[in-house]
């Protein structure tokens, strides 16, 4: 290999650069995120379950939201029936955010922790502050 | 061969650095536009395309014109173009990259650009335009690079590259045809909706591209040891003479239909461009400047005695370039939209940020061209030595 | 120095990435599941609108425009060149430029006409859109926008011969007087237009403009010969905007 010195230095600089997120976070203690379910609407619910069981929602809510997005805005489907036959209107603002009116304590709690941006609120309207607890 | 771009004289580095600075300023202006919105441009709800899309349209033409070298050399065995074909191909590479950048800076949500390939829409000419441009870019990079490398080694170009070169000929025609289809199929835009548009585009492209190549070849001859050849330049001049004449002829065809038919939509367009409609006449002197330059250039080119004088040839090429830049880079796009669906007139002028971004993209293109030409010229200089 | 082999390898990898991307996208698209439950929605095969311009006065126009623009969070940009319009007024000879002539009735020339997206049956905007962000809904022919997908190339605005499309030249949120929490806003850099109140139709409510028009505007199914709109179209002489362009506009005006 020619210029092995330069190449090795180059690789070292590159590795140092791409591993930046790892060593910058060494020793940083971050609290475990705890999304808050305590909103007035949820408190008043008889069956305290989302449109799918919590563990499924936790893992795949983006797939559901993506599907709802297409159903509502491209296919005009507004009715969602859960497995236990409860009916919901397909709408992020009017259904999801009706219960989860505390987006900072609910959505952002985890999203800030895993550093994944939420683009939803660039257009969708965040519920009024008063309804948050 | 890339290492050739890393060693050069003071003039080369001065050019590279100044282009870097200009493109840097353009990038800053673009970041401002990205942050604040396309409201910083002169575009509006009626004239929704302007300088950016105009540059795109113009540069697609310049890119396509590489075939004006490829056809004579590969199909007619015109050997004198052998040494300068690479200049045409690398010019095409720089121009297609500029085209892509101009589309990018024109977008409202550029980060979603991959939606173009995520939701393929074959009914949209824009999908086809992106596809043929990407293909044309790859064809020119591969064929240009491989042939130049063979020249450097003093061997014949490998046979697998020949089919690519032949494909690149109709492909070049396709990029400008599809770009014309972006405009030519819209009902209700009288300036654009013409079956002649693609042919008109190609004629102007094959005039402006070789003009630019003549100017670049003259520059290279002056500043480097590589001489593209007096005869090659003269033949390019003949090509410009024909294509520019055809371009003006096509204008005549359009004007006949517009004026003889007396159809209000066409008359409206004619009036807006060449006469002015009431207070809306700011574009008229610009249009006439382009007309005068185009006609003068054809006169200069047609008289063989004048064309053979390289100074006059260069002047004619500058006139062709400026005239066609005005027509395609500004008047064509703006004129098509300025007459609104309500038959009102909305004028458009680019704003300062828009102009800075435009110059920035040109600087990036010219930087790419400089580096590619540096490589090509170094190879040619080695051949001489 | 890069050898030819290396160069081709790089070129090949780039090409493979492109193909891979296209394949992934079709994989993602296959996900949507739809129910056949049609409860609560207004049903039509081809929506159309009838506007009786004689029954609409200035107050009506203002009320209609306000109803639409407030429900849909339409921003009110300072610069009229950037205006976002879903439904607005144009003088008669602007809305119907081909009707302009020396001897046209004077009262007509400046008569304000409500104009909006024509929900064309053969919409050029849909034809030109490179991402299907604007599309014609199979079910009922509504021409709609998917704001999630639009990347703001504005080709549809060049394609629309009715000036019915607007672009968000700025971030619209600061320019919305009062935000309706039941409808999204838009982001900077996307195109928007009248949606024929699909969000209401899909929940069984007529479009907002029709609702507040005191009967001057009627929507209905053009494919059903017995529908109210078809009866109106049989009884009255109506015109459409620029029908010569072949877009098949579905908004009919009684002048």
Question: What pLDDT sits at residue A69?
Answer: 95
Looking at the partner chain, which of C4, C25, C128 has a beta carbon nearest the beta carbon of B125?
C128
Q: In what order do the strands lie in the sheet with C217-221?
A: C217-221, C47-52, C251-254
- Tokens at C30, concatenated: 């296959």
Instruction: Supply the CATH number for residue B146's domain.
Output: 1.20.1630.10
**A21-35, A96-110, C155-169: range with lowest mean pLDDT:** A21-35
Beta-carbon count within 10 A of C211 CB: 16
Could you identify the residue written with the tokens 């209107």? A89
Q: What is the pLDDT of residue C25?
A: 39
CB contact under 8 A, C187 and A81: no
Over residues A16-42, the mean pLDDT reads: 88
A26 located within any domain? no
- Which chain B residues contact residue C158 at CB under 8 A? 48-49, 183, 186, 189, 336-337
Q: Let me know the angle formed at the C-alpha of C38 by C37 and C40, rounded to the nearest 5 degrees.
A: 120
The tokens for B338 are 């300025």
- pLDDT at residue C5, as a whole number: 47
- The string over B123-132, giving b where at least 16 C-beta atoms fall within 10 Å of a residue's C-beta and e elsewhere, is ebbbbbbbbb
Rounded-to-integer distance, Cα B185 and Cα C95, Å? 22
Average of pLDDT values for B3-13?
Answer: 88
Taking 80 as the threshold, does the pLDDT of residue C237 lie above it?
yes
Asked, for residue A56, whether it belongs to a domain, the answer is yes
Q: Could you tell me the pTM of the whole model?
A: 0.91
**Rounded to an integer, what distance in angstroms lies between the CA atom of residue C123 and that of residue C76?**
27
Residue corresponding to tokens 């497995």: A83
pLDDT at residue C23 greater than cutoff 90: no
Interface touch C83/B45, C-beta < 8 Å = yes
Average pLDDT, chain C: 88
Neighbours of A51 (CB within 10 A): 20
The pLDDT, as a whole number, for residue C36 is 53
Flag whether A88 is in a domain: yes
Residue-wise pLDDT for B120-158, tens only, equals: 999 999 999 999 999 999 999 999 999 999 988 988 889
Neighbours of A, requiring at least 3 CB pairs below 8 Å, are C
DSSP track, C191-220 = EE---TTHHHHTTT---HHHHTTTTSEEEE
Domain C47-254, CATH 3.20.140.10 — does that match?
no
Per-residue pLDDT for C31 more than 80?
A: no
Domain count, chain B: 1
Chain C residue closest in CA terms to B116 = C131
Helix (H, G, I), strand (E, B) or coil at B199: helix
Task: Tell me which residue in C163, C168, C246 faces B342 most closely, judged by beta carbons.
Answer: C163
| pLDDT tens digits along B36-59 | 999 999 999 999 999 999 999 999
Q: Tell me the residue range of the domain where B207 lies.
A: 2-384
User: Which residue, chain included where needed, has tokens 């070849």?
Assistant: B217
Q: How many CB pairs under 8 A join A and C?
A: 69
**What residues form DSSP beta bridges with C51?**
C217, C253
Domain that holds residue A42: 33-131
**Does pLDDT of C8 surpass 50?**
no
From the CB of residue B287, how many other CB atoms can be counted at a distance below 10 Å?
A: 19
* Domain ranges (residues) in chain C: 47-254
Q: What is the pLDDT of residues B215-260, one digit of tens each?
A: 999 999 999 989 998 999 999 999 999 999 999 999 999 999 999 9
Q: For A75, which residue in chain C has the nearest alpha carbon?
A: C137
Which of C18, C79, C151 comes nearest B107 by C-beta? Answer: C151
Q: Please tell me the total count of domains within chain A.
A: 1
DSSP state of B42: S
Confidence at residue B98, expressed as pLDDT on a 0 to 100 scale: 97
- Are B188 and C161 a contacting pair at CB < 8 A? yes
Query: What is the structure's pLDDT at B306?
Result: 94
Of B3, B158, B341, the CB nearest to C162: B341
pLDDT one-digit tens code per residue, B323-365: 999 999 999 999 999 999 999 999 999 999 999 999 999 999 9
- Contact partners of C by the rule of 3+ C-beta pairs under 8 A? A, B
**Would A70 be classed as within a structural domain?**
yes
Is residue C3 predicted with pLDDT exceeding 80? no
* Across C121-126, average pLDDT: 97
Residue in chain A nearest C181 by alpha carbon: A125
Longest Cα–Cα distance of chain B, Å, equals 66
Per-residue pLDDT tens for C53-92?
Answer: 999 999 999 999 999 999 999 999 999 999 999 999 999 9
- Nearest C-alpha in A relative to C202: A76
pLDDT at C32 over 50: no
């Amino acid at each position: 290999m020619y210029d092995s010195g330069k190449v090795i230095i180059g690789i070292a600089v590159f590795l140092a650069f791409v591993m930046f997120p790892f060593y910058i976070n060494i020793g940083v203690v971050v609290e475990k995120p705890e999304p808050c379910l305590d909103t007035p609407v949820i408190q008043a619910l008889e069956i305290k379950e989302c449109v799918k069981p919590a563990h499924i929602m936790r893992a795949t809510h983006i797939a559901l939201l993506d599907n709802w997005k297409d159903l509502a805005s491209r296919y005009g489907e507004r009715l969602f029936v859960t497995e236990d036959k409860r009916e919901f209107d397909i709408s992020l603002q009017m259904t999801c955010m009706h219960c989860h009116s505390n987006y900072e304590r609910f959505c952002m709690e985890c999203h800030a922790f895993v550093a994944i941006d939420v683009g939803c609120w660039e257009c969708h309207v965040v519920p009024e502050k008063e309804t948050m607890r | 061969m890339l290492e050739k771009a890393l060693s050069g004289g003071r003039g080369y580095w001065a050019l590279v650095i100044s282009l870097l600075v200009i493109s840097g300023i353009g990038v800053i202006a673009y970041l401002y536009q990205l942050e604040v919105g396309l409201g910083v441009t002169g575009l509006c709800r009626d004239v929704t395309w302007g300088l950016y899309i105009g540059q795109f349209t113009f540069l697609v033409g310049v890119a396509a014109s590489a075939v004006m070298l490829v056809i004579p050399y590969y199909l007619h065995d015109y050997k004198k173009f052998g040494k300068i074909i690479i200049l045409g191909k690398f010019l095409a590479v720089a121009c297609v990259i500029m085209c892509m950048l101009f589309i990018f800076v024109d977008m409202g949500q550029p980060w979603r650009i991959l939606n173009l390939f995520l939701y393929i829409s074959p009914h949209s000419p824009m999908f086809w335009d992106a596809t043929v441009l990407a293909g044309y870019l790859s064809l020119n990079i591969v064929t240009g690079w491989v042939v130049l490398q063979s020249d450097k080694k003093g061997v014949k170009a490998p046979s697998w590259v020949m089919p690519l070169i032949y494909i690149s000929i109709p492909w070049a025609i396709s990029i400008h045809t599809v770009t014309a289809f972006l405009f030519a199929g819209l009902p209700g835009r009288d300036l654009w909706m013409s079956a002649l548009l693609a042919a008109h585009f190609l004629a102007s492209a094959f005039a402006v591209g070789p003009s630019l190549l003549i100017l670049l070849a003259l520059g290279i001859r002056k500043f480097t040891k590589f001489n593209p050849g007096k005869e090659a330049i003269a033949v390019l001049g003949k090509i410009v003479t024909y294509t520019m004449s055809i371009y003006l002829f096509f204008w005549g065809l359009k004007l006949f239909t517009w004026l003889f038919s007396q159809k209000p939509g066409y008359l409206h367009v004619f009036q807006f461009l060449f006469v002015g409609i009431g207070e809306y006449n700011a574009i008229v002197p610009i249009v006439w400047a382009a007309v005068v330059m185009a006609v003068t250039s054809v006169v200069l080119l047609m008289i063989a005695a004048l064309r053979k004088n390289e100074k006059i040839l260069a002047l004619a090429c500058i006139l062709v370039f400026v005239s066609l830049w005005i027509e395609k880079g500004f008047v064509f796009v703006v004129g098509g939209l300025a007459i609104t669906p309500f038959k009102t007139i909305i004028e458009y002028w680019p704003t300062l940020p828009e102009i800075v971004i435009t110059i920035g993209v040109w600087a990036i293109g010219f930087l790419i061209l400089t580096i590619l030409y540096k490589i090509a010229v170094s190879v040619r200089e080695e051949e001489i030595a | 120095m890069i050898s030819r082999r290396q160069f081709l390898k790089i070129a090949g990898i780039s090409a493979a990435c492109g193909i891979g991307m296209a394949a992934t996208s079709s994989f993602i698209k296959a996900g949507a599941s739809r129910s056949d439950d049609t409860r609560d929605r207004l049903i039509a095969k081809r929506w159309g609108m009838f506007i009786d311009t004689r029954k609409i006065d200035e107050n009506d126009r203002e009320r209609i425009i306000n109803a639409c623009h407030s429900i849909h969070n339409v921003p009110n940009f300072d610069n009229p060149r950037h205006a976002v319009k879903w439904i607005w007024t144009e003088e008669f000879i602007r809305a119907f430029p081909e009707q302009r002539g020396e001897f046209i009735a004077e009262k007509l020339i400046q008569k304000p006409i409500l104009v909006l997206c024509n929900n064309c049956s053969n919409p050029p905007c849909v034809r030109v859109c490179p991402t299907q962000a604007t599309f014609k809904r199979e079910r009922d022919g509504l021409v709609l926008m998917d704001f999630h997908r639009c990347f703001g190339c504005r080709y549809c605005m060049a394609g629309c011969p009715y000036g019915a499309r607007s672009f968000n030249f700025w971030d619209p949120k600061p320019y919305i007087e009062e935000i309706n929490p039941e409808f999204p806003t838009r982001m900077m850099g996307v195109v928007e237009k009248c949606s024929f109140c699909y969000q209401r139709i899909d929940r069984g409510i007529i479009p907002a403009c029709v609702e507040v028009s005191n009967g001057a505007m009627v929507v209905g199914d053009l494919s059903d010969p017995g529908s109210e709109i078809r009866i109106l179209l049989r009884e009255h002489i109506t015109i459409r905007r620029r029908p010569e362009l072949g877009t098949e506009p579905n908004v009919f005006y009684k002048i």
